[in-house]
Amino acid sequence: MANMGVISALAGRGDTIFSDRLNHASIIDGCLLSRARIRRYPHGDTEALAEQLAGTEGHKVVVTDGVFSMDGDLAPLAELARLCRTHDALLVVDDAHGFGVLGDGGRGSLSACGLGQEDVPVVIGTLGKAFGTSGAFVAGSSLMMDYLVQKARTYIYTTSMPPAIAAASTASIRMAMAADDRRAHLRNLIDRFRREAQAMGYALMPSDTPIQPILIGGAAEAMALSRGLEGHGIWVTAIRPPTVPQGESRLRVTLSAAHTEAHLDRLLQALAVCRQEIGLTAA
């Protein structure tokens, strides 16, 4: 709802929104609600985006995920910020999967890329996921926030957050900012998972975040592997079309700081056994 409200408040009829082809469904819905012209650019392709921006007049908004939810990769934020400055476009980043796990003090994708408010004027995040409560937020300049308070319909026409959730969220953010030791542990889990899963022959997508997709290809094979892991007491969701393109079905492994080395041992052992049981070929 935050994405829908913010994006539809920042663009309207006669404007143009440039959206990464792999953006989250809520971003897509926000673009559609705005009634602006929508131009999708190939995933992470800043050269294609530059051509689109150069050939467009009027108010322009570029919107992207910080960390992409199905691939786990990071948007080229520094180059996107440069392009938006060059072409007088407003850059909006949804960093739902970046906050808490990336950057200094868990400040997210912008921090990890060394960017600030002058580079990315609008950042959207969730209080779920890393923060473990409920709701969402948008950050930007005071003027921008005043504007959104008046114009974002999903903010105006809804019930305010319960005080208990606000208090819990505030406490959770403080805890996350001080959790560098847990982020270091999570980093070690990610590195070990990638190293050992690839050594087994699994095809991993180029992700350095806690979202670690195992690319399988066929939907039936992805479901078979998911069911095999479930038989070992491990739940890893199979992601299939239409969520991902045909031929790109995958298992979406999502690691967290709450996982232990023993948990990862169990996952890796089960992946090795299930690979043989279902007869997956080498990547």
Per domain, the residue ranges of the chain are: 2-177, 180-278
Topology given in CATH for the domain delimited by 2-177: Aspartate Aminotransferase; domain 2 (3.40.640)
H helices present in 118-162, as ranges: 142-151, 153-156
* pLDDT (tens place) for every residue of the chain, 283 residues total: 999 999 999 999 999 999 999 999 999 999 999 999 999 999 999 999 999 999 999 999 999 999 999 999 999 999 999 999 999 999 999 999 999 999 999 999 999 999 999 999 999 999 999 999 999 999 999 999 999 999 999 999 999 999 999 999 999 999 999 999 999 999 999 999 999 999 999 999 999 999 999 999 999 999 999 999 999 999 999 999 999 999 999 999 999 999 999 999 999 999 999 998 887 764 4
Instruction: State in Å, rounded, how far the first CA of the chain is from the last one.
Output: 39
Residue 51, token pair as written in the block = 């051509």
Topology given in CATH for the domain delimited by 180-278: Aspartate Aminotransferase, domain 1 (3.90.1150)
Catalytic residue IDs: 69, 97, 129
Distance CA 19, CA 91 (A): 10
